[in-house]
Amino acid sequence: MAKSDFSRYLFWAAGGFMLGIISIAAARRPIEARANAPVDDTALQADVSHLKDIAPPASHPMVDVGYHTANLWFAAQKKNWPLANYYWGETRNRLRWEVHLNPSPKGPSGPIDMKSTLDGIENGSFAAVKQAIDKKDGREFVTAYKNLLGDCYSCHKAVGRPYLRPMIPITPQQTIINADPAATWPE
């Protein structure tokens, strides 16, 4: 009886294996055929033009950086350290997105290596902000945050935009997130 079960299992396993091989081979044929098809330059140019039209501008992630950095400030002022940590991470993600979209913007003296610039900020003032959040140290946070804004301004000047002068936010941006760590609603 056990030998019969094993034989049946082996039969179905071998059949499944063969079916998988046939399916993969059949699926690859159309891909290979498309890879060898002639390229329609006009259609390709139209597609590239369309993608350029719908791509967000490089400044879009920086708008998000401003939003998250302002919310980071108010979360820390409320001593809501988990929320501050969240906004720290979101700020970091948007900065990296900006570098991905615009790795070498033209500055007054030539292209700027944004990856190196961001690496310096992440290992310097941005790391100090994270350290203050992890320690839940409000005084250290204020100092680190001010240094971060100074680094942001240095970057703005390097890319020829000295008129983009960051500041400590005065009022929270309109947000749906309650920064009060003692909030009880909604449940």
pLDDT tens readout for residues 109-124: 999 999 999 999 999 9
Structure confidence at residue 176 (pLDDT)? 78
For residue 110, the SS3 value is strand
The answer as to whether 187 is a domain residue is no
* Structural element, H or E, at residue 3: helix 2-35
Is residue 148 a contact partner of residue 129, using CB atoms and an 8 Å limit?
Answer: yes
pLDDT tens for each residue of 41-68: 888 888 888 888 887 777 889 999 999 9
Closest CA to 76 of 149, 135, 118: 135
Which region among 25-29, 128-132, 159-163, 180-184 has the lowest average model confidence (pLDDT)? Answer: 25-29
Indicate if 76 and 154 belong to the same structural domain.
Answer: yes
Q: Which domain holds residue 82?
A: 60-158
Dihedral pair phi/psi, residue 106, rounded to 5°: -80, 120
Indicate if 26 and 67 belong to the same structural domain.
Answer: no
Indicate if 11 and 73 belong to the same structural domain.
Answer: no
pLDDT tens for each residue of 62-116: 999 999 999 999 999 999 999 999 999 999 999 999 999 889 988 999 999 999 9
Indicate if 71 and 151 belong to the same structural domain.
Answer: yes
Indicate if 95 and 140 belong to the same structural domain.
Answer: yes
Number of structural domains (the chain) is 2
Structure tokens at 108: 């007054």
